[in-house]
Amino acid sequence: MRDVPVRPGSYWMEYGDDTARPRPPDGLDVDVAVIGAGIAGICTAWELARAGRTVALLEAHRVAAGVTGHTTAKLSALHGNVYQRLRSTRGAQGAALYARSQQDAIGHVVAVCQELGIDCDLERFPAFTYAETAKEAHTVEAEAEAAREAGLPASYVKETGLPFPVAGAVRVEDQALFHPRKYLYALVADLERRGGQVFEGTRIVGLREGEPCRLTTEDGRTVSARDVVVATHYPVFDRSLLFARLKPHRELVVAGVIPAGQDPLGMYLTPEGTTRSVRTAPYGEGQRLLIVTGEKFTPGAGRVGERYERLETWTTQRFPDVRLTHRWAAQDNEPTDGVPFVGALHPRARHSFVAAGFNSWGMASGVMSGKLLAARITGEKLPWTDLYDPVRLKPLKEAPSLMRFQAAAAGHFVGDRLPFVTGGGRASAIPPGGGAVLRSGARHVAVHRDEAGELHALSARCTHLGCLVRFNDAERTWECPCHGSRFGTGGEVLQGPAVHPLERVHDIEEDDDA
């Protein structure tokens, strides 16, 4: 396998500032505490500050540096073949409300950019869901009809701006592309001008609901708030069993420079295979940055390097003049019925809220979540509030996905512990840069060998619910296949729902079984 000739790291992450934001003072008291400074958390905090609330935005790492910093940044209401599914599971009215809410979010970004004078490379383009095979073209044609019935400006076409033929495509007009961190940094700056407080390096590990609610950080500080919003991508506090209704997946991204004249002038997605998504962004005079996403897989599925190569090969075959420059990965969660969970954290919650399950469409859905949650907290109700309510549970509609999600998680929880899964080999067989789960007596140990040859050993039990982690060979991380938690090779939490690091193990030897 040849190396992908690109530097690892998200293109979006190259933009930012060096502002050092502190941890909160112990005993901080605000109207609303928002946990998570991705697009959903930032938009929620900003909307509430604009409504006159005192707000604390609490981020475990850095602002807009998690999933939001690794997106493909499409602002679109066309989400694959979602409208056929919604028409079946939520009815024609539900599909129409979904379309309205997503279109409203796009319009809101445009309006906010004008209001605050934000230069975030905002561009308006059509969005396409396309098929390359005649069989899939029938599905795409049906999606065009469903999207049109839901109120989108959708049509079925057989010609696109792609440099290869398609069998058919849904086309929805006047969608948008933008630079997410340029937009969100501007919102954070305005949030702080309005008196909002932003804290980084602040992992929240405890939530006591009440009046007020009380949050606890990993270093023992407390924050009190009348209302709390959990916007941590995958909920770190799960009191409505959302972990059973969300399935994590990762997707890879490669990006490279193409001549501006080869821009396909739109955003494209095919659900065929392991998906392919195409868009471009401004990149200097006479050039565009081509961004291609695909190779969807469950965290911990392995052979990530091979998946990158497949995505690179597809990109260079379809766009022969591309000069690849970047690669990165994104993660999201699929909800059981295809609709994000935005609203009350659990059935009895009065002052705790959640936003989760954006299923690879987090830009428009994150903006939508900010408006919806701010409205709920300030006593308003948007037309689509009930559509997204996490408390909803429609057993007949959700049962097939619910059973599929939990069967997969149970398979990992039980099957990964069988001897033949982790046996066969020794720590001495792990190459520099590699990792494996070893059996050391009755326990499972996650062992990584760094480039200098030193072994680093951790408990292989995810600190969320105890599933066994697996090694990602391309990103050199430990990943939980059950609920998507990710850890560095030193055990540190990179991505929740886990909030505690993997425990270090100190007695692994070269001849331990692997």
At 117-143, the pLDDT tens digits run 999 999 999 999 999 999 899 999 999
For position 407, what pLDDT does the model report?
A: 53
At 464-504, the pLDDT tens digits run 889 999 999 888 999 999 988 999 999 999 988 898 999 99
User: Residue 191: is its pLDDT beyond 90?
Assistant: yes
pTM for this entry: 0.90
For residue 502, CA distances in Å to 5, 221, 457, 479, 493 come to 32, 22, 10, 11, 8
DSSP 250-263: EEEEEEEEEEGGG-
Cβ atoms of 140 and 168 closer than 8 Å: yes
| Planar angle of CA 430, 435, 439, nearest 5 degrees | 85
**Three-class secondary structure of residue 506 per DSSP:** coil
Query: If pLDDT is split at 50, 70 and 90, which confidence band does 413 have?
Result: very low
For tokens 């429609």, the residue is 394
For position 25, what pLDDT does the model report?
A: 97
- pLDDT, average across residues 251-266: 97
User: Residue 412: is its pLDDT beyond 60?
Assistant: no
Number of continuous H segments (helices) and E segments (strands) in the chain: 10, 26
At 46-77, the pLDDT tens digits run 999 999 999 999 999 999 999 999 999 999 99
Cβ atoms of 153 and 174 closer than 8 Å: yes
For position 507, what pLDDT does the model report?
A: 67
What is the rounded CA–CA span in Å between residue 493 and residue 501? 5
Cβ atoms of 337 and 395 closer than 8 Å: no
For position 417, what pLDDT does the model report?
A: 46
* Least confident span in 55-69, 185-199, 405-419: 405-419
In 152-286, the DSSP E strands lie at: 154-157, 168-177, 197-199, 204-208, 213-217, 222-230, 246-259, 267-270, 276-282
What is the rounded CA–CA span in Å between residue 168 and residue 255? 25
| Selection from 330, 345, 309, 363 nearest residue 484 by Cα | 330
Residue-range domains of the chain with CATH: 13-71+181-243+338-394 (3.50.50.60), 419-505 (2.102.10.10)
For position 242, what pLDDT does the model report?
A: 81
User: Residue 179: is its pLDDT beyond 90?
Assistant: yes
For position 238, what pLDDT does the model report?
A: 74
* Least confident span in 182-186, 230-234, 392-396: 392-396
Query: If pLDDT is split at 50, 70 and 90, which confidence band does 301 have?
Result: confident
What is the rounded CA–CA span in Å between residue 499 and residue 341? 21
DSSP state of 4: P
